[in-house]
Structure 1
Amino acid sequence: MDRVIEAYTDVTAEGKKSRTPAKLDKWLTASGVILALFMMGHMMFVSTILLGKDVMHAVTKAFELDFIFDGGVPFIVSIFVAIISAIFIVHAILGVRKFPTSYKTYIKVREHAKLMNHKDTSMWMFQWISGLVMMFAATIHLYIMFTQPQNIGPYASADRVVSEHMWLLYMVLLICVEIHGSVGLYRAAMKWGWFDGANPKETRAKLLNVKKLLSYFFMTLGVITLLAYIKIGIEHSDNVGEKYVPTSHSKVLEK
C-alpha cells in the first residue's frame, strides 16, 4: 500500500514534498461543490414538471429570460451550459488524478478498502467509479443541452426521454450524479474540517446522516420526476416534435 500512496505524492527535484497536490485538491473541491449545488438546483428545476406542465414551461422560459426578451432566447441556456461544462471538464481532469493508474493498483486499493471496512473509504471508491461513468454519460447530456436548448420543455423533454430512448442514460446519470454529489459534499466537509466544531467525531456522524438524507431525497425525487416525464412521453408519442402551449395561451388562441 505504501507504493500506492507514493504514486499519489508529488516530490520536487530537491526531494521536498510539493504543495501542488493540495492546491489542486482545493480546486477539485471548489469545482465539485459548485457542480453538486448546481445539480441540486437542476433537480429542483426539472422536478417542476410534478407541479404541472404550465409550471415547468414557465420556469424554462424564465431561464431563457422571456421576462426581458419576448418569447425568450434559448441560446442563453447554451451559454449557461457551456459554463457548467467548463467547470465539469476542470473537475474531471483534477479528479482523474485520484483514479487508480492501473488494474493492479485498483486491486490493491480495493483490498485495502475491504481490510479497513471503513465507510468513508468505500464512499471514495464509489466516487471515482461514478465519476468515470459521468465522464461519458454527463458529456452526452451536456452536449445535447448545449446544441438543442430550444428542446427543453414539458413535451420536448418528455419526447427525448421516451421517443429518443434517453431514459436509460438519465437513470444512470440520476444514480451517479445524485449520490456522487452528496458523497462529494460530505467528503469535502470532512476533508477540510468545515464543520468540525468541538467534537469532530460527533460532527462526522451528523454529516453522514445529512448525506444520507440528501441521497434519499434527491434519488426519490429524481425517480418520481423521471417517471413523470416517461408518462408524458408515452402519452405524447404520436405527436413527437410538437411544442407545448401553455394553458393561458391556448385559451387566447381558442378565442
Structure 2
Amino acid sequence: MENVIEAFTGVTPQGKKSRTPAKLDVMLTASGVILALFMIGHMLFVSTILLGKDVMYTVTKMFELEFLFEGGIPAVVSVIVFAITVIFIVHAILGARKFPTSYRAYIRIREHSKMMHHKDTSMWMFQWISGLIMMFAGLVHLFIMFTQPQNIGPFASAYRVVENHMWLLYVVLLICVEIHGSVGLYRAAMKWGWFDGENPKQTRANLMKMKKILSYVFMTLGVVTLAAYIKIGLDHNIAPGEKYQPNTNTIEILKD
C-alpha cells in the first residue's frame, strides 16, 4: 500500500519526495511509443490486402516464418501477440494512474477543459477515454489473435470481419487506436522535449500538424482497408475455416 501511495502522490511515507512517479512516467511513455510504432506496422501489414490477396497471403506467411519452415508456424504470431499483450497491460496499468478517480474529478477536468479551450487538454481527455475503451476492446482482439493465429489471411480475416460481425469492434478500435496513438506520440514529444528547438511555439505547431497528418492518413487507410475485407467477405462464399489458395505464379514473382 505504501508503494501505491508513493506512486500516485510522489511522496514517501516519511514525507520525502519520491522519484517513483517520474520513473513510472518514463515507463508509460516507453510502452506507449512501442505500442504506437507497433500499430503503425500493424496497419501497414493489414493494408497489404489493398495490393491484392496474394500479397497479403505472402506477408502473412512471412510472419509465420514460412521461409524457414515449410508451411509456416502460426504459433510464432501467438508469441508476438503475447509480448504485445504484456506491454499493452503494463501500459494500461500505468496509464490508469492518470485517470480521474471519481465522477466529480471528471466533471472538474471537463469544466476546466471547456474554460481553457486548450487543445492539449482536450486531447488528454480523449487519451484517457479512448484508453479506457481500448482496455476492453483491445484485449478482445488480442485474445482472438493469440488463440487463433492460423486464422489470419485474405479469406480467414474477411470471414471474421463479415460472418463473425467483428467489423463493429474494428471500427471502434480503428478510431480509438489510431487517434490515441498519434495523440500519444505528440504528447510524449512535447512532454520530453524530443524535438525542442529555438522556437517552442513553432515546434508545437509543427508537431500538431504532423499529428493531424498521421491521424488523417491512418484513419483513411484503416477505413479503406476494412472496406476491402468486407468486400472480400461479401463477394466470396467463404466457409468456416476456409483458407485462401494463392496464385502460385504470383507468389513466385513476389518472392523473387
**Pairing 1:225-236 to 2, within 5 Å after superposition:** 225-236=225-236
Assess if the C-alpha contact under 8 Å between 2:127 and 2:184 holds in 1.
yes
Give the alignment's TM-score, normalised by structure 2.
0.93
Correspondences of 1:21-36 after superposition (within 5 Å): 21-36=21-36
Map of 1:88 onto structure 2: 88
- The residue aligned with 2:4 is none
Alignment-mate amino acid for residue 213 of structure 1: I
Equivalent residue number for residue 4 of structure 1: none
**One-letter code of the match for 2:120?**
D
Deviations 1:176-228 (A, max 9, x none): 00000000000000000000111111100000000000000000000000000
Matches within 5 A, 1:71-86: 71-86=71-86
Does 1:200 find its partner at 2:200? yes
- Cα distance in 1 for residues equivalent to 2:240 and 2:75: 22
Which ranges of structure 1 fall in alignment gaps of 5 or more residues?
1-6
TM-aligned CA deviation for residue 236 of structure 1:
2.3
Question: In structure 2, what is the Cα distance between the partners aligned to 1:20 and 1:109?
Answer: 24
Residue 110 of structure 1 is matched in structure 2 by 110
1:130 corresponds to: 130
Q: 1:171 to 1:229 in 2, by over 3 A?
A: same
Contact in 2 for aligned 1:163/1:237 (Cα 8 Å): no
Amino acid at match of 2:138: A
Using the alignment, how far apart are the partners of 2:26 and 2:123 within structure 1? 19
Query: What is the TM-score normalised by the length of structure 1?
Result: 0.93
Number of paired residues?
246
2:49 matches 1:49: yes
Q: Which amino acid aligns with 1:63?
A: F
Q: Does the aligned pair in 2 maintain the 1:162–1:230 contact within 8 Å?
A: yes
1:60 aligned onto 2:60:
yes
Q: How far does the alpha carbon of each residue in 1:153-173 deviate from its partner, in whole angstroms, 9 at most, with x for none?
A: 000000000000000000000
| Aligned mates of 1:241, 1:250 — CA distance in 2 | 23
Read off the aligned partner of 1:125 and give its amino acid letter.
Answer: M
Cα offset for 1:250?
A: 10
CA distance in 2, matches of 1:217, 1:138: 21
* Contact 1:78–1:146 (Cα < 8 Å) also in 2: yes
Counterpart for residue 174 of structure 1 = 174
Q: In the aligned structure 2, how far is the partner of 1:162 from the partner of 1:240?
A: 12
- 1:223 has 2:246 as partner: no
Letter of the 1:113 counterpart: S
**Deviation readout 1:71-120 (Å, 9 max, x if unpaired):** 10000000000000000010000000000011011001111111111000
Query: What residue number does 1:151 align with?
Result: 151
Report the AA paired with residue 32 of structure 2: G
CA contact (8 A) 2:54 2:250 kept: no
Return 5+ residue gaps in structure 2 as ranges: 1-6, 252-256
Which residue does the alignment assign to 1:69?
A: 69
Q: Percent identity?
A: 74
User: For 1:183 and 1:250, how far apart are their aligned partners in 2?
Assistant: 39
Q: Which stretch has the larger CA shift, 220-229 or 192-201?
A: 192-201
Distance 2:55 2:240 in 1: 21
